[in-house]
Structure 1
Amino acid sequence: MDQQKWLLVKANFDGTEDLADGYYRLREVDGGYQLAYLVAGPCGDKNPHPEITLRQEGNQVRPIRLRDTETSPILNLSEKEDATTIEELTDQLLNRFIRIKKLSI
């Protein structure tokens, strides 16, 4: 996971923001953060597509869990079995956050 991209996203997002193509959320959770792109559900709910849990370790974070309820079948990945996949999908999500606000490193 690119820590420089993470710091850029962390500095430019807080809470849930309704932007052009969906909802973008960054929130603190116990021991780290959750980063999520959310799509509107049929009942006004917001479904993660995906939601990634990041664990804070010193000055860095690392992805430990990924959940995507908009895929079929639903994705529930953990770092034990799927570390490489979670890393790749985390970088893709960070890029999406950076692109939507036209940020640059």
Structure 2
Amino acid sequence: PPSVCVNQMAEGLHSMSSVAMDLEREIAASVHAVERERDRHRVESDALKREVEALQRSNQTLELELAKARHDNLIPKPHTALAHRPIPSPLNERPPALPPATVT
């Protein structure tokens, strides 16, 4: 009979509607999770950019201080520093001599 067919169609539509709503909720939750992750990465990226900028400023300051110290002859230039004093190397040093053995 037609009423049974209509009821079955209504049940099918209700079931499909329920599945569609579940999928919508899952999609919305996934989108929300992706947006949170994107925002977290953006915050981390911004923090890293600020840290890089601070390190670059610090590096520039240190380079200026080094150049000034070299200009004022407080720090010798690398090539002259090596000429004035040898670099100590454990390979060039001899171990201390052992005391002579005594027989008792």
| TM-score class, shorter | under 0.3
Higher relative contact order (CA 8 A, sep 6+): 1
Q: Which protein is richer in strand relative to its size?
A: 1
* TM-score (norm. length: structure 1): 0.22
* TM-score (norm. length: structure 2): 0.22
User: Which of the pair has more CA radius of gyration?
Assistant: 2
